[in-house]
């Protein structure tokens, strides 16, 4: 079991208020009650796919004297709606949840986003414990405090910053995760490797199969390292705002692909394409060394992430993607911003690249 601290000790947070631990390991359910001192009632919000873990959590909480309420959420993005939010508020209201009570999320990133937003908004904020059950949610969605829902106008447009009181990454739950979801989650792990922790890449390159074995030690170490990268960036960001932007590596194009494909693509698959593109863009801009671009291709291929997005070759589709990138939440004004690598683990910014350069870098994903 490993404990990774997020927040605390930064200039804006000298006392460590708002700091929390991400615990990575096996059979962590019985640690949950200890994370909620002073709470009387707990609402467990769960994905249907992880009913067994959610039941074990409820039982553990009940066994230690909590009044436990449970609510199953619609699958995946269907959980992140204002209607579901309203249902959750209804459960909390009927059960008379107070400021000292808490929410526990058991599911993928959709559940941790929704549950975090429920907790952020009830009585202007109650504690939430995140128990992520997908690889993506463990290394990304459940860590860092961003919560939110979708609206008819777009994804994640409504939300709040609400750091959890704790995060438990109980690795055995990944055994039931469909293989394509495990692979997609690995894209964020690979991203953490390129922007900050080369050891992640070495571990994957040494044995890509082991990286995808949910029962193995390699995946455990990868989760710990990827969480540590996000924890470091998020903690530092409290001091130096905008550092967090490096977590967006590969995401400028990825978000555009997700949008023009009507969110039929897995996020991690789009991020893999986005990283290949950003690497080539960095090379063409005279920033990213060619061997590092080649390493992107080999690592992404080794774990079975997609390497091609042929539609980008179509001029009309490319215009759609450019427009979508311009509308991205992270765009400032109308200037496109990319994270590029000046070297391995040396991320930098590329602001407002020429349209010709942007078009030329497509060769990396549709050549």
For the annotated catalytic residues, the residue numbers are 124, 146, 188, 230, 240, 244, 248, 251, 255, 267
Write down the residue that tokens 């080794």 correspond to: 302
Q: Output the smallest distance, CB 108 to ligand NAD, in A.
A: 2
Q: Are the beta carbons of 29 and 18 closer than 8 angstroms?
A: no
Q: Output the smallest distance, CB 200 to ligand NAD, in A.
A: 18
- Select the residue interacting with ligand NAD from 4, 36, 42, 47 (CB under 6 A): 47
- State the Cα–Cα distance between residues 204 and 222, nearest whole angstrom: 8
Q: Are the beta carbons of 6 and 143 closer than 8 angstroms?
A: yes
Note whether 41 binds ligand NAD by CB under 6 A: no
Would you say 339 or 358 has its CB closer to ligand NAD?
A: 339
Phi, psi of 70 (to 5 degrees): -125, 150
- State the Cα–Cα distance between residues 337 and 251, nearest whole angstrom: 10
- Select the residue interacting with ligand NAD from 28, 136, 254, 344 (CB under 6 A): 136
**CB contact set of 96 (below 8 Å; sequence gap of 6+):** 41
Note whether 181 binds ligand NAD by CB under 6 A: yes
- Select the residue interacting with ligand NAD from 33, 144, 163, 306 (CB under 6 A): 144
- State the Cα–Cα distance between residues 8 and 235, nearest whole angstrom: 7
Note whether 234 binds ligand NAD by CB under 6 A: no
Note whether 229 binds ligand NAD by CB under 6 A: no
C-alpha count within 13 angstroms, C-beta hemisphere, residue 264: 3
Looking at residues 60 to 79 of the shown chain, list those that interact with ligand NAD (rule: CB under 6 A): 75-77
Would you say 300 or 364 has its CB closer to ligand NAD?
A: 300
Query: Which one-letter DSSP state was computed for residue 360?
Result: H
Q: Are the beta carbons of 164 and 20 closer than 8 angstroms?
A: yes
Q: Output the smallest distance, CB 291 to ligand NAD, in A.
A: 29
Alpha carbon separation from 22 to 104, 281, 300 (Å, rounded): 14, 34, 27
Phi, psi of 253 (to 5 degrees): -75, -35
Stretch that binds ligand NAD, among 26-34, 64-72, 128-136, 257-265 (CB under 6 A): 128-136
Stretch that binds ligand NAD, among 96-104, 119-127, 132-140, 205-213 (CB under 6 A): 132-140
List interacting residues with ligand NAD (CB under 6 A).
47, 49-50, 75-77, 80, 107-111, 113, 133-134, 136-137, 140-141, 144, 146, 156, 173-174, 176-177, 181, 267
């Amino acid at each position: 079991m490993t404990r990774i601290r997020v927040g605390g000790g930064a200039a804006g947070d000298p006392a460590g208020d708002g700091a929390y631990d991400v615990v990575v390991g096996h059979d962590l359910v019985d640690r949950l009650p200890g994370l909620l001192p002073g709470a009387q009632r707990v609402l467990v919000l769960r994905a249907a796919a992880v009913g067994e873990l959610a039941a074990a959590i409820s039982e553990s909480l009940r066994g230690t004297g909590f009044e436990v309420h449970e609510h199953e959420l619609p699958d995946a993005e269907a959980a992140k709606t204002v209607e579901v939010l309203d249902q959750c508020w209804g459960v909390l209201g009927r059960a008379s949840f107070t400021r000292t009570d808490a929410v526990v999320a058991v599911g993928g990133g959709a559940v941790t986003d929704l549950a975090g937003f429920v907790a952020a908004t009830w009585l202007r904020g109650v504690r939430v414990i995140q128990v992520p059950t997908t690889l993506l949610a463990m290394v990304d969605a459940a860590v860092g405090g961003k919560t939110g829902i979708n609206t008819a106008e777009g994804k994640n447009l409504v939300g709040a910053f609400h750091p959890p009181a704790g995060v438990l990454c109980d690795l055995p739950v990944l055994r039931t995760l469909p293989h394509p979801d495990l692979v997609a989650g690995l894209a964020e792990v690979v991203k953490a490797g390129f922007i900050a922790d080369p050891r992640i890449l070495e571990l994957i390159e040494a044995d890509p199969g082991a990286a995808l074995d949910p029962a193995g030690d390699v995946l455990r170490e990868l989760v710990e390292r990827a969480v540590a990268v996000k924890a470091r960036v998020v903690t530092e960001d409290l001091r130096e705002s905008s550092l967090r932007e490096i977590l967006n590596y590969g995401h400028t194009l990825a978000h555009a692909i997700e949008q023009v494909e009507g969110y039929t693509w897995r996020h991690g698959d789009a991020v893999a394409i986005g990283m290949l593109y950003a690497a080539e863009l960095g090379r063409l801009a005279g920033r990213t060394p060619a061997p590092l671009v080649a390493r992107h291709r080999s690592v992404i291929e080794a774990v079975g992430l997609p390497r091609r997005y042929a539609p980008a070759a179509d001029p009309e589709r490319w215009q759609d993607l450019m427009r979508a990138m311009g509308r991205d939440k992270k765009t400032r004004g109308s200037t496109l911003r990319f994270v590029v690598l000046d070297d391995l683990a040396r991320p930098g910014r590329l602001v407002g690249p020429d349209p010709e350069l942007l078009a030329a870098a497509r060769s990396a994903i549709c050549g």
